[in-house]
Structure 1
Amino acid sequence: MSTLAYQKEVLFYGDFLREVKKHLSCAAPEAASTCLATVPRCYYRRLDLLVLEDLSLAGFSMPDPLVPLSLPQAECVLKALARLHAASLVFEEREGRRLADAYPLLLEETLFRKEPGFPPYVAQVSCVRIAHVLLDLVPRFGRGTPLNEQLHSHLEPAMKEIYKFLRPSDKYRNVLCHRDLWVNNMLFAEDAKGELSVRLVDFQTVHLEPPAHDLMIFMHWGMLRDLRRAYGQGLLELYHHTLADVLRQHDLDIDSVLPLQVFLQSCVETQPLAVILAVYTLQATTLPIKKAADLECFLLNKAALVRAMYRQDDRFRRRVTEAMEELVETCLMPRLAYHQQQQQQQQQQPPPPSKNEREQ
């Protein structure tokens, strides 16, 4: 990871948490209602080293990256995100200034920078090529289907929209977003009563963006589509309710900071971002690589391994099929429809007058 990534994580565990803590009500045991209960303790930090608590000693462990999260796990993460985001809002309301002014580093993009030669960008270009491979494997849109060639022509432009989407918003309130909420960056523990707790780790990609970005990205990375469709609205409302509770404890009114309808609208507008980012990410994070030989094959011939695993592994096939289908439905089909509409309008326009007609 880049120097910028380390600088961000040191900033998060150092200056950010220290300054935010001054404004947080921490009367509850372990500060359970604040962001301090969503992240591991940091015992020592310097620019090249962080010493964090060993969460395994408290019973925390990472879930299987190939197993989608359950509804209770998703609810746990959404409440943790609400507490994390609340810290940003409390800070700004108490300080009377934006985080962007206090910590300009949080405006810097860690991974999605469109810079040739930048290693993450090279990987992202590879992901776009693999998306073309996956499109041909998905039965609904694969080779031989009516729209296959047209969808391929719109795939790369749609996926490159990611560099436009991952920015602070001029329309919605920005908070400190984690921005890398896949299952390897969260650890769960269950107490004797069966109550779940979660800790979020790896704050190297933190960025100032609308809270909807964290939520929608997490829900598309960590949950199956059926679960999102059945419980997505309820999960978003749970997040907002938790956020409102934390703000109320700090004498802040959610309706003056982030009204429910404004928040829900931001989630709708974030859907394309989440769908595109899922295609970039799931093709690698859900690839069932277990042997060194598989990893070597992945690095040397990613397309061949993806094709093989798509045919052989049910879990990988389901996740990437869902991701590609949602990319087509949410991003490619609207682009295709707009392109066809433009063509029809051009065909319906009368031809320009000839030279004789102009002279007459």
Structure 2
Amino acid sequence: MQNVEDMGYVALPSGTHFLNENQMGPILKSLATLHASSIAYEKQNGKTIGVEFRKWLKEVSVDPGVEWYTTGLRAVLAVAATHPDVLDNPEAQEFIAHELPKCLDKVYWMVNPSPVHRNVFVHRDAWNANVFYHKEKPYEERSVLVDFQLCRYSPPAMDFHLVSYLNLEPSSRKKMIGSLIETYYDALAVECREMGIDPNQEQLSKQEFEQSLKDFSLFGVTYNCIAATVLRLPENYLKNLKDKLPEDFHRFCNVDRNADVLRLMKDYPEFADYMYECVGDLLALTYHKLN
């Protein structure tokens, strides 16, 4: 991290929870550079990143064997059952109990290389704790991204969804999503063309990119809901749990957090509002869309 700071970049202030549109621009442009560069690498070397680096690009986050993910998923289902829009709806409760888990199983294959859309090297964890901004020109210069632990070979939509869901409040995301798409895609197109690549010939026309966003929307919404059960908890809750009750901390992270999340929602209305807003997006893509 010191090297990054020596280059003239700084982290966001401690306690930053959500970003604004100006702060999103440099991250989206950095991702566009990363994605375009991976295409250029493949064309120049005649190799496929997903094949050449397969053993290093394994899924370590979204997998039925990852306890952090499955524990979070169960908590999201528990929250969904208490959502005010469906609380007194027997049909919806039946769907959440029996059909919603099956719907969310689709996310497991979404994280793998797509057989339909253009795959690129994706960061997959560009939330605000992994971003550094230029000290003198924070909004003009591209951000520096760190922590590539979750990187994969998949469509650019995966990065776009994560960066927009994890860094923005749901209501803000809905308002600026069109502008964010323009910012990302314009930067991608410019980067590609400067490298002698026509995005339209790489299954990355504007229309194809927007279609990929629709095809992978369930991934973005689901991951955001799960992340919220950890990243959006009341201030210092998880830290205090880790320091004072390490066994409970392990249980919360890797075994069962349902009761804790529901209790915290009852005790902290702001946390409840946020969780219901996130889960409301999930229900809109699943129950409400199918009914």
Q: TM-score range by the shorter chain?
A: 0.7 to 0.9
**Equivalents in 1 of 2:201, 2:18: separation in Å?**
35
1:261 equivalent in alignment to 2:207 = yes
Report matched runs for 1:278-317 at 5 Å: 278-290=224-236, 292-295=239-242, 296=245, 297-300=248-251, 302-317=257-272
Who wins on radius of gyration, i.e. which is larger?
Answer: 1
* Letter in structure 2 aligned against 1:139: P
**Equivalents in 2 of 1:196, 1:316: separation in Å?**
34
Residue in structure 2 matched with residue 14 of structure 1 by the alignment: none
* Letter in structure 2 aligned against 1:172: H
Residue 65 of structure 1 and its aligned partner are, at CA, apart by 6.1
Residue 222 of structure 1 and its aligned partner are, at CA, apart by 1.4
Residue in structure 1 matched with residue 97 of structure 2 by the alignment: 152
The question of whether the paired residues in 1 share the 8 Å contact of 2:39 and 2:120 is answered with yes
Q: Is the alpha carbon distance of 1:67 and 1:293 closer, same or farther for their aligned partners in structure 2, counting shifts above 3 Å?
A: closer
Residue in structure 1 matched with residue 132 of structure 2 by the alignment: 187
**Equivalents in 1 of 2:100, 2:235: separation in Å?**
26
Residue 320 of structure 1 and its aligned partner are, at CA, apart by 1.7
Q: Taking CA–CA contacts closer than 8 Å with sequence separation of 6 or more, which of the two structures ends up with the larger relative contact order?
A: 2
How many equivalent pairs are there? 280
- Counterpart of 2:10 in 1: which secondary structure? coil
Residue in structure 1 matched with residue 5 of structure 2 by the alignment: 55
- Counterpart of 1:53 in 2: which secondary structure? helix
**Equivalents in 2 of 1:242, 1:290: separation in Å?**
37
The question of whether the paired residues in 2 share the 8 Å contact of 1:106 and 1:208 is answered with no
Which 5+ residue runs of structure 2 have no aligned equivalent? none
1:223 equivalent in alignment to 2:168 = yes
How high is the TM-score relative to the length of structure 2? 0.85
**Equivalents in 2 of 1:193, 1:218: separation in Å?**
17
Residue in structure 2 matched with residue 104 of structure 1 by the alignment: 54
The question of whether the paired residues in 1 share the 8 Å contact of 2:69 and 2:226 is answered with yes
- Counterpart of 2:143 in 1: which secondary structure? strand
**Segment drifting more, 188-197 vs 285-294:** 188-197
Match of 1:83 among 9, 16, 33: 33
Residue 87 of structure 1 and its aligned partner are, at CA, apart by 0.9
- Counterpart of 2:61 in 1: which secondary structure? coil
**Equivalents in 1 of 2:198, 2:115: separation in Å?**
22
Per-residue CA deviation, residues 171-200 of structure 1 (Å, 9 max, x unaligned), is 111100111222222233442686465221
**Equivalents in 1 of 2:134, 2:268: separation in Å?**
28
Match of 2:219 among 270, 273, 284: 273
- Counterpart of 1:68 in 2: which secondary structure? coil
1:114 equivalent in alignment to 2:76 = no
Per-residue CA deviation, residues 262-317 of structure 1 (Å, 9 max, x unaligned), is 11111111111111111222211111251554443554463333123223435433
The question of whether the paired residues in 1 share the 8 Å contact of 2:64 and 2:70 is answered with no
Match of 1:323 among 266, 278, 281: 278
Residue in structure 2 matched with residue 68 of structure 1 by the alignment: 18
Residue 210 of structure 1 and its aligned partner are, at CA, apart by 0.4
**Equivalents in 2 of 1:113, 1:238: separation in Å?**
31
Report matched runs for 1:124-273 at 5 Å: 124-142=69-87, 144-146=88-90, 147-191=92-136, 195=140, 197-257=142-202, 258-273=204-219
The question of whether the paired residues in 2 share the 8 Å contact of 1:66 and 1:315 is answered with no
The question of whether the paired residues in 2 share the 8 Å contact of 1:63 and 1:188 is answered with no
The question of whether the paired residues in 1 share the 8 Å contact of 2:63 and 2:69 is answered with no
Residue 150 of structure 1 and its aligned partner are, at CA, apart by 2.9
Per-residue CA deviation, residues 316-339 of structure 1 (Å, 9 max, x unaligned), is 33332122111111023345x4xx
Q: Is the alpha carbon distance of 1:135 and 1:192 closer, same or farther for their aligned partners in structure 2, counting shifts above 3 Å?
A: closer
The question of whether the paired residues in 2 share the 8 Å contact of 1:75 and 1:235 is answered with yes
Q: Is the alpha carbon distance of 1:150 and 1:194 closer, same or farther for their aligned partners in structure 2, counting shifts above 3 Å?
A: closer
Which 5+ residue runs of structure 1 have no aligned equivalent? 1-39, 41-51, 116-120, 338-360
**Equivalents in 1 of 2:276, 2:14: separation in Å?**
19
* Letter in structure 1 aligned against 2:62: F
**Segment drifting more, 121-130 vs 270-279:** 121-130
How high is the TM-score relative to the length of structure 1? 0.70
